[in-house]
């Protein structure tokens, strides 16, 4: 019997690198590997890119199929600032997407150009997450490090370059920097932030290779390396996502997005007008606090994460890392509406509700920003680490009023990267590969009646607490 051909997809996320070896024809996951990262604690979220590189080698080797792979692709966490010197070495640890210290720089960028013009040019209004704001923070706060910079990369760019020697990125991940437009890098924005365009990678066309593997590590020399992309774009590929189907991802952060027909331009900043990895668009709303924040509250309450109780009057806004949607980078967590009969289970359920609220409220904005229908009968695709949790599933169904589909496939970001790699071998579009593999199949959970009372309670608490959430003390880097 013939041995099936293999491709490898890599997901370099905030907490770990995960790799999957996938059968080119069947889509069967033949082997998996994982290696942890180290992330600093506190408001400043940093990680050593050299550890990502070691983790990539460890995770790929652990799949057991590295020597058979015919192509590889790397997807990675969006927005992170990897600043390199002339020798290609990091001048400091990478600033990650959830590092909120660049909030003042993001506000200054918006003031300079105006929210409407940012949305028109780049599709998005910068927040602390965006690479442009992080570069401005580095120039202002660590000028000696900034003076040594000779190249700027995103996390997936850095790893692709280590594999191939080529400075390359893709349109999807580049669209989260704050300086990319559909026409290319914006020269006026680059001048304003004092960034030399020669420091940036070329943007590779969808479906083409960034280069080939150089002779080191567990992969065979000379196999093609796809352009890669950002994690949300890769998950969309991994699902073979059709236009207008909404996705809710429950991970360290929460995201809601869809593949859209038209380019989003939301001057409110709620919807980021990202490009996808194929030539289309991926309107997206993102929160900083999702599964990790809820798990932290469960731990503080001394309860298992599934030990929720229905009812109660409490509202919990679990903004433990500041927040991006709504744009409250200075915020901290808040509990409101406690009574004598409030239980720990009520508080934990309220934390789930508070984490899901902003994403579900933004769902219609995401769909309409991309020119798609907000049909409430369309199932919401639930993915990410929280998607299989019963409390998360019930919370999303209760607050959205939608049916929910939970794909059986795991590691969708890595699968999306594997589909990119497969496309290099077969000539197919990556989403077509994923649909052929059947990655989106999974149980459909029926809709629950929409809990409008809970939604109104959270909205009221947000409005009343606005001053507190905008000025919470202890934000690092504001001295």
Q: Alpha-carbon distance 61 to 67, whole Å?
A: 9
Could you list the beta-strand ranges (E) of 26-112.
Answer: 29-36, 46-47, 69-76, 82-84, 94-95
Q: Alpha-carbon distance 285 to 283, whole Å?
A: 7
3-state secondary structure 385-435: CCCCCHHHHHHHHHHHCCCEECCCCCCHHHHHHHHHHHHHHHCCCHHHHHH
Q: Which of 101, 137, 46 is nearest to 474 (CA)?
A: 101
Contacts of 158 (CB under 8 A, 6+ apart): 49, 52, 53, 82, 84, 94
Q: Name the residues annotated as catalytic.
A: 231
Q: Which of 113, 5, 1, 18 is nearest to 384 (CA)?
A: 18
Q: How far is CA 130 from CA 114, 146, 199, in A?
A: 16, 17, 17
SS3 content of the chain, % helix, strand, coil (to 5): 35, 20, 40
Residue 191's Cβ-count burial label (10 Å; 0-12, 13-18, 19+) is exposed
For residue 97, give both structure tokens.
């997407």
157 within 8 A of 201, measured Cβ to Cβ: yes
198 within 8 A of 185, measured Cβ to Cβ: no
Q: Alpha-carbon distance 289 to 323, whole Å?
A: 7
86 within 8 A of 192, measured Cβ to Cβ: no
Q: Which of 422, 418, 409 is nearest to 9 (CA)?
A: 418
Torsion of CA 84, 85, 86, 87, to 10 degrees: -80
Question: Which sign does the torsion angle of CA 12, 16, 21, 25 carry?
Answer: negative
Q: Which of 191, 197, 195, 277 is nearest to 231 (CA)?
A: 277
Q: Alpha-carbon distance 157 to 168, whole Å?
A: 6
């Amino acid at each position: 019997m013939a041995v099936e051909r293999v491709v490898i997809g890599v997901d370099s996320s905030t907490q770990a690198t995960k790799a999957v070896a996938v059968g080119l024809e069947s889509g069967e996951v033949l082997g998996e590997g994982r290696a942890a990262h180290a992330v600093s604690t506190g408001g400043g979220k940093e990680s050593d890119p050299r550890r990502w590189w070691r983790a990539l080698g460890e995770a790929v080797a652990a799949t057991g199929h590295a020597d058979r792979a015919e192509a590889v692709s790397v997807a990675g966490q969006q927005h992170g600032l990897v600043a390199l010197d002339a020798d290609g070495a990091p001048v400091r640890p990478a600033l990650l997407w959830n590092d909120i210290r660049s909030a003042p720089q993001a506000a200054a960028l918006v003031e300079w150009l105006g929210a409407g013009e940012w949305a028109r040019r780049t599709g998005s209004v910068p927040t602390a997450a965006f690479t442009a704001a992080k570069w401005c923070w580095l120039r202002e706060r660590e000028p000696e490090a900034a003076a040594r910079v000779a190249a700027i990369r995103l996390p997936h760019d850095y790893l692709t370059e280590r594999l191939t020697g080529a400075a390359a990125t893709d349109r999807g991940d580049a669209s989260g920097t704050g300086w990319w437009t559909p026409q290319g890098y914006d020269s006026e924005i680059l001048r304003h932030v004092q960034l030399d365009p020669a420091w940036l990678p070329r943007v590779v066309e969808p479906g083409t290779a960034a280069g080939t593997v150089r002779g080191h590590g567990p992969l065979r020399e000379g196999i093609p390396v796809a352009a890669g992309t950002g994690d949300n774009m890769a998950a969309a590929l991994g699902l073979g996502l059709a236009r207008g189907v909404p996705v809710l991802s429950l991970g360290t952060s929460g995201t809601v997005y869809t593949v859209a027909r038209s380019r989003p331009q939301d001057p409110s900043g709620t919807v980021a007008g990202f490009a996808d990895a194929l030539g289309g668009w991926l309107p997206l709303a993102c929160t900083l606090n999702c599964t990790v924040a809820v798990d932290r509250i469960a731990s503080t309450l001394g309860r298992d994460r599934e030990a929720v109780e229905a009812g109660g009057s409490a509202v919990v806004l679990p903004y433990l890392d500041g927040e991006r949607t709504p744009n409250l980078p200075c915020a901290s967590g808040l509990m409101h509406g406690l009574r004598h009969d409030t239980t720990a289970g009520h508080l934990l359920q309220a934390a789930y509700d508070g984490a899901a609220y902003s994403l579900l409220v933004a769902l219609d904005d995401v769909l309409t920003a991309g020119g798609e229908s907000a049909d409430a009968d369309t199932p919401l695709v639930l993915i990410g680490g929280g998607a299989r949790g019963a409390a998360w599933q019930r919370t999303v169904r209760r607050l959205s009023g939608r049916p929910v589909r939970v794909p059986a496939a795991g590691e969708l970001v890595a699968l999306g990267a594997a589909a990119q790699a497969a496309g290099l071998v077969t000539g197919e579009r990556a989403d077509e590969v994923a649909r052929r593999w059947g990655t989106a199949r999974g149980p459909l959970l029926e809709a629950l009646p929409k809990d409008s009372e809970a939604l109104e309670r959270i909205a009221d608490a947000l409005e009343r607490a606005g001053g507190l959430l905008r000025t919470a003390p202890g934000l690092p880097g504001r001295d």
